[in-house]
């Protein structure tokens, strides 16, 4: 039996790339051979199913499971490409109040038995959905764009991670990783964007990766295949794969995206599992 | 998703996106929870039939739906105990 590491992908602000990052990292972990479950906590506005290309196969959801209307195994949707990757979808028709703390605890505890990694996609905001998504996490990936309002909201989320989670209440420190997404190489070069070092300094959270703004990410969403699977040589996919290796404990330096030519020029074969 | 359309027409991922959204939204707008109810009922019926002959774990019966534009397919996956399966 597995004893999963539960990771929450969170940010406070919407639109920074939580769902995209959840899908990309969950897929990258599955490609490494781990049993992985991605859980969508955005009850009422689910989208992880769409980004993972599973939207046509969703029957039951997290709320059904929390309410005992379906078992977890019934609700899990297996990925079409990676058979060790599963999705537990959010409900589209109910609201966030349909989740209870006890219900979420029991779902997470059961998932811990079946999987090596459980990746929880938090909704935006700091309310019930977001606090429940982080509540039982062992580690947090904080997603920020190099932009002032996003960084400010991340700071708020860090406060919640250190106060409202089970780990924090048990007197432990929640391990946190900062993932900077939508990093625009041109604007960084022109000095028009917060530098990654500045974001790290302000938030005091170690950097796990810097994902460049990329049309490959949009294309991946269009076709419903996470970018780490659809286009593994794209700069964004490489950044996610690198972040995943760091999540797995590898001590490798963070690549700061550079001019597109130099990155595309290098051929990078996917790592063996 | 269709792997051929993905690799064959890489610059047309937007049309794949449109198609996926049309199917999804048509379904969501019409959704009254009947799919989940149908699956639950079917699962119970199938479980009862199989349990008459084979001793199975209720969790080992999986029903999966796949909706395309006009057709919805139902997949039934029953895991038989090792001794019976051989």
- Residues with Cβ within 8 Å of A15's Cβ and at least 6 positions away in sequence, in order, are A124
Does some domain include residue A271? no
Per the structure, the complete domain to which residue A153 belongs is given by 5-265
Does some domain include residue A273? no
The pLDDT confidence band at residue A131, using thresholds 50, 70 and 90, is very high
pTM over 0.95: no
The closest CB to that of B36, out of A50, A59, A77, belongs to: A59
C-beta separation of A179 from A124 below 8 A? no
Number of Cα atoms under 13 Å in the Cβ half of residue A246: 21
The closest CB to that of B68, out of A56, A69, A224, belongs to: A56
Give me the number of domains chain A comprises. Answer: 1
In angstroms, what separates the C-alpha of B49 from chain A's closest C-alpha? 19
**Residues of A numbered 192-221 whose beta carbons fall under 8 angstroms of chain B's beta carbons: which are they?**
218-219, 221
The closest CB to that of B20, out of A77, A80, A224, belongs to: A224
User: Quick check: B62 contacting A, CB < 8 Å?
Assistant: yes
Q: Which residue in chain B has the smallest CA separation from A80?
A: B1
Does some domain include residue A272? no
Q: Please indicate whether, in this complex, the C-beta atoms of B17 and A93 are within 8 angstroms of each other.
A: no
- More confident call, A31 vs A95: A31
Residue A229 has pLDDT above 50, yes or no: yes
Which pLDDT does position B55 carry in this prediction? 87
Does some domain include residue A178? yes
**Residues of A numbered 118-137 whose beta carbons fall under 8 angstroms of chain B's beta carbons: which are they?**
none
Q: Note the pLDDT tens digit of each residue in A61-93.
A: 999 999 888 899 989 999 999 999 999 999 987
C-beta separation of A56 from A271 below 8 A? no
C-beta separation of A101 from A132 below 8 A? yes
DSSP per residue, B33-82: SHHHHHHHHHHHHHHHHHHHHS---GGGEEEEEEE-SS-EEEEEEE---H
- More confident call, A245 vs B37: A245
Does some domain include residue A111? yes
Q: Note the pLDDT tens digit of each residue in B4-54.
A: 555 554 558 999 999 899 888 888 888 777 778 888 888 889 888 988 998
Which residues in chain B are contacts of A55 at CB distance < 8 A?
Answer: 20, 24
Does some domain include residue A245? yes
**Alpha helices (H) in A97-247, listed in sequence order:** 101-114, 128-135, 148-161, 166-169, 185-189, 196-203, 215-223, 227-230, 235-247
| CATH value at residue A240 | 3.40.50.300
Which residues in chain A are contacts of B42 at CB distance < 8 A?
Answer: none
Query: How many beta-carbon pairs under 8 angstroms link A with B?
Result: 62
Does some domain include residue A141? yes
C-beta separation of A132 from A126 below 8 A? no
Does some domain include residue A270? no
- More confident call, B46 vs A22: A22
DSSP per residue, A132-154: HHHHT-SEEEEEE-SSHHHHHHH
Average pLDDT taken over every residue of chain A: 92
Residue B84 has pLDDT above 60, yes or no: no
Which pLDDT does position A272 carry in this prediction? 39
User: Quick check: A92 contacting B, CB < 8 Å?
Assistant: yes
User: Quick check: A53 contacting B, CB < 8 Å?
Assistant: yes
User: Quick check: B63 contacting A, CB < 8 Å?
Assistant: yes
In angstroms, what separates the C-alpha of B13 from chain A's closest C-alpha? 6
């Amino acid at each position: 039996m597995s004893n999963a590491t539960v990771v929450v992908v969170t940010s406070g602000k919407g639109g920074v790339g939580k769902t995209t990052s959840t899908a990309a990292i969950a897929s990258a972990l599955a490609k490494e051979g781990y049993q992985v479950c991605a859980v969508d906590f955005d009850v009422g506005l689910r989208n992880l199913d769409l980004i993972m290309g599973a939207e046509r196969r969703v029957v039951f959801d997290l709320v059904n499971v929390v309410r005992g209307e379906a078992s977890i195994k019934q609700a899990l949707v297996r990925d079409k490409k990676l058979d060790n990757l599963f999705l537990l979808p959010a409900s589209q028709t109910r609201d966030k109040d349909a989740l209870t703390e006890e219900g979420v605890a029991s779902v997470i505890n059961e998932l811990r038995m079946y999987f090596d990694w459980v990746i929880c996609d938090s909704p935006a905001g700091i309310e019930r959905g977001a606090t429940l998504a982080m509540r039982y996490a062992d580690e947090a990936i904080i997603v920020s764009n190099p932009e002032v309002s996003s960084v400010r909201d991340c700071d708020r989320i860090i406060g919640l991670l250190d106060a409202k989670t089970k780990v924090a209440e048990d007197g432990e420190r929640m391990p946190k990783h900062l993932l900077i997404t939508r990093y625009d190489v041109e604007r960084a070069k022109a000095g028009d964007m917060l530098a990654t070092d500045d974001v790290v300094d302000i938030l005091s959270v170690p950097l796990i990766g810097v994902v460049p703004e990329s049309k490959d990410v949009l294309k991946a969403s269009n076709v419903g295949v996470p970018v780490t699977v659809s286009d593994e040589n794209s700069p964004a996919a490489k950044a996610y794969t690198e972040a995943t290796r760091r999540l797995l404990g590898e001590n490798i330096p963070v690549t700061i995206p550079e001019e597109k030519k130099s990155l595309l020029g290098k051929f990078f074969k996917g790592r063996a599992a | 998703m269709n792997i051929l359309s993905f690799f064959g027409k890489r610059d047309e991922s937007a049309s794949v996106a449109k198609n996926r959204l049309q199917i999804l939204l048509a379904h969501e707008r019409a959704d009254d929870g009947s799919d989940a109810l149908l699956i639950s009922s079917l699962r119970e019926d199938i479980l009862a039939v199989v349990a008459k002959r084979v001793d199975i774990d209720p969790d080992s019966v999986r029903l999966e739906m796949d909706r395309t534009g006009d057709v919805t397919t139902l997949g039934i996956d029953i895991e038989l105990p090792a001794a019976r399966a051989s």
